Amino acid sequence: MTSKATEEQLLYAKILEKGMLVGLVLLFVTFGLYVFGIMPAAVPLDEIAGYWSQPVHEYLVAINTNFLHWDHLPTGWSWIKLIGKGDFINFIPIAILSGVTIMCYLAIVPGLFKRGDKAYAIMALAEAAILTLAASGLLSVGH
């Protein structure tokens, strides 16, 4: 055993770093597009403050009624349909920042199996499955 990080740990760190950098840079870019009015927002900038004090369900009903006019509320991955809007394009970097960990886990699984570290390979797969389930939107509940 040495004080150096293992191969899997370094691989995990490398992917995490790249995902984090891409996510953060994109977040600043997309927020700039939104806040400087370069891309029009689904909920106008001067009206958003009227909604953020409400519980999330009421907020979603209100913005859907007033701006989106969909037959369902904009939950789960439905924001993808709105990435042409300045506010919703910000969800791309947020999803990258929230999703990079899944990539990290999947990337280290083959190496763990190769080294016969089955317990950790299974735990890594289980973690990736749990995070994917959370990301899928299947677990959505509310007030």
Partner 1 sequence: MTKSMLGKIGGIYAALICALTLHPAWALASEAGASNPVPPAGDTAWWVWPLVLLVVTFFMGIVAVLGGVGGGVLYVPIISGFFPFHLDFVRGTGLLVALSGALAAGPGLLKMNMASLRLAIPVALIASTMAIVGAMVGLALPTNVVQILLGATILGIVVIMFTAKKSAIPEVKQADPLSSALRICGIYHEASSGEDINWCVHRTPMGLATFIIIGFMAGMFGLGAGWANVPVLNLMMGAPLKISVATSKFLLSITDTSAAWIYLNKGCVIPMMVVPSLIGIMLGSFVGVRILKVAKPTFIRWMVIAILAFAGVKALTKGLGIDLF
Which residues in the 69-128 window bind partner 1 by CB under 8 A?
A: 73-77, 87, 90-91, 94-95, 97-102, 108, 119-120, 123-124, 126-127
Nearest approach, Cβ of 89 to partner 1 (angstroms)?
9
- Kindly state the DSSP code that residue 49 receives in the 8-state scheme: G
Where in 8-27 is the site for partner 1 (CB under 8 A)? 8-10, 12-14, 16-17, 19-20, 23-24, 27
How far apart (Å, rounded) are the C-alpha atoms in residues 41 and 22? Answer: 23
The neighbour count for residue 112, using CB atoms within 10 Å, is 20
72 close to 66: Cβ distance less than 8 angstroms: no
Give the Å distances, CA to CA, from 8 to 18, 79, 93, 101: 16, 34, 25, 14
Residues 6+ apart with CB under 8 A from 87: 34, 41, 42, 43, 48
Nearest approach, Cβ of 25 to partner 1 (angstroms)?
12
* 49 binds partner 1 per the rule CB under 8 A: yes
Q: Which of residues 10 and 40 has its CB atom nearest to partner 1 in the complex?
A: 10
* 137 binds partner 1 per the rule CB under 8 A: yes
Nearest approach, Cβ of 38 to partner 1 (angstroms)?
14
